[in-house]
Amino acid sequence: MKFYSILKLIRFEHGLMLSLAVLTSVFFTVSNVRLDINLIGLMAIPFLIEAGAFALNDYFDIETDRLNKKDRPLVTGEISKETALTITIASLFTAIIISIFYNIWIVNITGFFILFSVLYDWKLKDLPLIGNSFIGFSMAIPFIFGNLAYSDTLIPENIILFCMAFTIGLAREIIKTVEDYDGDVKMRKAKTLPFYIGKGNSLYIAVIIILLFLVIGFYSYTLISFEYISGILWLLSISYYAYLSIKIILYNLNAKVIHRNKFFSVTRRDTLITLVVGLIALLLTKFGV
C-alpha cells in the first residue's frame, strides 16, 4: 500500500510517458539504438525530475488538495510531508548527478528544469499561462533532450513532436486550472487564467490550442514514415483530440457541467492515455510495424 501511495505521489505514469518520449526522440536521432546503461540513464533523468516535482507540488498544495483532490496521499495521511520532501530532494539530486555523465546540453537542460520545477511548485503555477506554458514545455522537452544527447543537430521529426507535445500539454494544463480553480483561489489566492477570463473562456482557449495540435499532428503524418499498425494508432490518437474539442465545447455550453470535476479529471486522464498510444505508434515505426 505504501509503495502504491508513492507511485501515486510521484505520478508514475507521467514519468513513464516522459521516458518513452526520450526513447522515441533517440530512435529518430540515431539509426542503431541499444538499450544500454547510457540510454537507461538518459531516460531516468526526466522521470526523476517529474517525480521530485510532483512530490514537491503535493507538499506545497496539501491544503488546496483538501478541497480539490481529497484522495492525494498527503491529504489521506498515507505519506507524510517529510517523506514527500525527502523524495523530492533525493529525486532531483539523483537527476543532476546522472546528467553529469552526459554532455553540456543535458546538464544545462536538467539544471534548468530542476530550478523551474521548484519555482513552478512555489509560485509560477499561480500565474496566468506562465505556469501552464512551463508544464507544456516540460512535456515537450524530452524530444529535444534525447536528440541533443546523441547529436547537436535537431531532427525535423523531433521538432514536430516537440511542438505537438507543447500544445497538448498547454491545453491539458489550462483544463487543469479550470478543474482546480475553486481550491486554488480559496487556499492560495491564485490568479490563473480562469481568474481573469472565466472558466468557460479558458476552456475555449484550450480547444483552440487542441485544434492547433491537430493541424501539426496531421502534418506530421506526411513527415514520419508510418506503417499500417503504427499509422492507424497514430491517426486514432490524433483523432481523439478532435473528439475532445467537441466534447469540451458541448460541456462548456452547459454552465452547470463546468463545475463537475469528474468531467475534467476523466478528460485529462484520457488525454494522457492517448499520448501514450501516440508514443507507442511512434516507437512502432522504428520496427517497421
Those residues with Cβ within 8 angstroms of residue 250's Cβ, 6 or more apart along the chain or in another chain = none
Of the candidates 19, 73, 7, the residue with the CA atom closest to the CA atom of residue 44? 19
Separation between Cα atoms, residue 76 and residue 78, nearest integer Å? 6
pLDDT for position 255: 53
Element (H, E) at 44: helix 37-60
Judge if pTM exceeds 0.75: yes
Under the phi-then-psi rule, with left for phi > 0, alpha for psi from -120 to 50, and beta for the rest, what region is 49?
alpha
End-to-end, the C-alpha distance of the chain in Å comes to: 38
The number of CA neighbours under 13 Å toward the Cβ of 29 is 25
CB of 116 closer than 8 Å to CB of 134: yes
CB of 73 closer than 8 Å to CB of 105: no
pLDDT for position 259: 52
Tell me, rounded to whole angstroms, the distance of Cα 211 from its chain centroid. 18
pLDDT in tens for each of the 289 residues of the chain? 588 889 889 999 889 999 999 999 999 999 887 889 999 999 999 999 999 999 998 898 887 777 767 778 888 889 999 999 999 999 999 999 999 999 999 999 999 999 999 998 888 888 888 888 998 999 999 999 999 999 999 998 899 999 989 998 898 888 888 877 777 776 677 788 888 888 888 888 988 998 898 888 888 878 788 888 988 998 888 888 888 878 777 776 665 554 555 676 777 778 778 888 888 888 888 777 7
Separation between Cα atoms, residue 230 and residue 234, nearest integer Å? 6
Those residues with Cβ within 8 angstroms of residue 194's Cβ, 6 or more apart along the chain or in another chain = 177, 178, 181, 202
Give per-residue burial for 82-110: e unless 16+ CB within 10 Å, then b.
ebbeebbeebbebbeebbeebeeebeebb
Q: In the CATH scheme, what architecture does the domain 2-286 have? A: Orthogonal Bundle (1.10)
pLDDT for position 40: 95
**Residue entry with cell 483544463:** 175
Element (H, E) at 49: helix 37-60
Separation between Cα atoms, residue 216 and residue 159, nearest integer Å? 11
CB of 38 closer than 8 Å to CB of 81: no
Cα dihedral 68/71/75/80 (nearest 10)? -140
